[in-house]
Structure 1
């Protein structure tokens, strides 16, 4: 039996990779796509996408009303992704969301909606399994080396900073790390922002350059030693195994799961 899937954002770099992944997976079936333009067309009308007779909807609610799907894969931007996820839950379609930039309040609201309707939902700041392992290793290390900074590097078209992965990494480390302010107590920024953003004393630095995809280093320091935990995604295919895993796992859930690490055994 195939899992029927809607993809939001099929023209994006992540979305187009997801279209190809779903099309190549025997147990998945692409039912429709949600796109902010090209409504009324099909994927085979879009030159850069696979030659598939799959309808495109500009109105997400109309898409959910007129199709029968099991899962929504959303790889858009935070504002659109939040609305798509809410609608999917209301129409009993299970969201798998790789959109970055949701606030804690938005995630809490989606958790309530998911639990109220008993519909599974997965939100993952990063679908690369290696990135998830990097975050888990950082969480463990932070218990023993509480002086830590994060450097995250992404392509120059990314809209949110810091990345969802960096925020999630900091949140995980805060669970094990003794809270402290780092650096000299009289430290002064000669240029505003030189020390980056801060979460519970952890400094987070964002780099945006063409040629990058998704990269993060977590740097720990202690007396006479440093530890660096690093992950690099060189292309967007690196995220697809995590998306595939999430589609399969969400079918058995009745609540929201935040973070791919919660799906790994």
Structure 2
């Protein structure tokens, strides 16, 4: 059984905790939050202890409650607070942070010299398959017009990091992204290819935030099969695609 520590206690983190807790391959040992946690605070749905990082260091936390892997759904600044512990203890890392600076992302790459690291701005299997399929279609038909539509809950202020990744992957300008903020939408991404006399739409909807948890479980399971290094979700999916093609 793989022991896991979860960074982040927002809506996504709480949903991810439920998925890991329900999976018999993993033991979710603790959850951290940025603000002070009450004495004896636990995640209501799982009973897993919740700890405030403003009252303890990552080193002390890992000494008292060792884990094999860290799953990060917190914020971009957290990486530097635990990165050296990941390196020295050779902990696996699955990070779902979408807002890393180039410097932070480069730092994450260096951790791959000592352990296994995966970073993805969106942790759902479906959206990463969409990106892979869109990349393939873009290669086949570079002449097609491309538009990207992303929809999220009303309170999300910034352009979706996943939409930005799609634009970067397809080498289209960011002004081809249209953003809508409506009600309580969890996440909708759509890539539209305009051909002469036809269109192709690739669509992904996140129905519940638990989709991020099933993606993180998948990513960590695949990371266990890898050697030390820095990986993206694309790397894991392509490894599976190549294996399937070899069987065919």
Q: CA deviation at 1:136?
A: 1.2
Q: Does 1:210 align with 2:209?
A: no
The residue that corresponds to 2:25 in the other structure is 27
**Kindly tell me: are residues 85 and 109 of structure 1, through their superposed partners in 2, closer, same or farther at Cα, counting changes over 3 Å?**
same
Q: Does 1:257 align with 2:218?
A: no
The residue that corresponds to 1:238 in the other structure is 211
Flag structure 2 segments of 5+ consecutive residues without an equivalent.
Answer: 241-248
Contact 1:43–1:50 (8 Å) recurs in 2: no
Superposed CA offset, 1:243-265 (max 9, x none): 1112222334311112x232121
Answer 1 or 2: which has greater helix percent: 2
Q: What's the RMSD between the two structures over aligned residues?
A: 2.3
Superposed CA offset, 1:125-151 (max 9, x none): 222222112111111222204421211
Q: Does 1:126 align with 2:126?
A: no
Q: CA deviation at 1:55?
A: 5.2
Q: Does 1:9 align with 2:4?
A: no
Contact 1:151–1:204 (8 Å) recurs in 2: yes
The residue that corresponds to 1:158 in the other structure is 156
CA distance in 2, matches of 1:245, 1:55: 24
Alignment equivalent of 1:173, drawn from 160, 166, 170: 170
CA distance in 2, matches of 1:139, 1:218: 10
**Kindly tell me: are residues 149 and 63 of structure 1, through their superposed partners in 2, closer, same or farther at Cα, counting changes over 3 Å?**
same
Contact 1:96–1:121 (8 Å) recurs in 2: yes
Number of residue pairs matched?
A: 231
CA distance in 2, matches of 1:224, 1:36: 52
The residue that corresponds to 1:109 in the other structure is 107
Q: Does 1:54 align with 2:49?
A: yes
Between 1:118-127 and 1:30-39, the stretch displaced more is 30-39
Q: CA deviation at 1:87?
A: 4.1
TM normalised by structure 2 equals 0.83
The residue that corresponds to 2:83 in the other structure is 86
Superposed CA offset, 1:89-140 (max 9, x none): 234322111122123332122102321xx21111122222221121111112
Flag structure 1 segments of 5+ consecutive residues without an equivalent.
Answer: 180-197
Q: CA deviation at 1:84?
A: 4.6
